Structure 1
Amino acid sequence: MPNIRSAAKRHRQNLKARERNKAVKTRIKNVTKAVHQAVNQQDADQASRAIQKAASTLDKAAQKRVIHWKKAARKISRLNRMVNTLQSTH
């Protein structure tokens, strides 16, 4: 338990931020999984919708500094590459 009031406040703020960041990271995992599932099912239409949502979610997370902007760009790039290989085969 912190002895100083400012340290106690900082601790409370960190707990709230951790909950927010956890929610955002879970959302990232879910939208990424949706893209993977659409690609595995060979559903190009569903995959293109899922990639748009995933890119938006990743960009928002990077904007809020939950994840690094280069990590977001890397994940978007890899997901796009997966979807593009799916579309090129059809």
Structure 2
Amino acid sequence: MANIKSAIKRVDVNNKKRAHNQKFKSEMRSQIKRLEKLVDAKDTENAKAQLQTAMKQIDKAVQKGLIHQNSGNRQKSRLAQKVNSISA
């Protein structure tokens, strides 16, 4: 454990930020899982609405630097393909 006052503060700040980021990433993953369940159930209307919500969460995660931009774009593309496959 850190002995210096500033190092102790950094540890506390890092722990708070990590907890906040974990909460945000967890919510993003939950939105994606909800969408995948709707796709599996072939619920087109709700899946399209959920797609917008999931994309918004992914965009926010990219904006905050929680995931890389390419990773976010890849996830959004794959989710859109899944939704389009059930509506076609």
TM over 0.5: yes
Measured against aligned partners, the alpha-carbon deviations of 1:39-88 in whole angstroms (never above 9, x if no partner) come to 01111101001100000000001101111111111111100010011111
Partner of 2:46: 46
Q: Distance in 1 between matches of 2:69 and 2:8?
A: 30
Structure 2 residue runs without a partner (length 5+): none
1:1-90 residue pairs with structure 2 within 5 A? 1-88=1-88
Aligned partner letter, 2:69: W
Percent identity over the alignment is 35
**Structure 1 residue matching 2:76: 3-state secondary structure:** helix
What is the TM-score of this pair, normalised by structure 2? 0.95
What is the TM-score of this pair, normalised by structure 1? 0.93
Aligned partner letter, 2:2: P
What CA RMSD, in Å, does the superposition of the two structures yield over aligned residues?
0.8
Aligned partner letter, 1:24: F
Aligned partner letter, 1:30: S
Aligned partner letter, 2:55: A
Aligned partner letter, 1:39: V
How many residue pairs get aligned? The number is 88
**Structure 1 residue matching 2:66: 3-state secondary structure:** coil
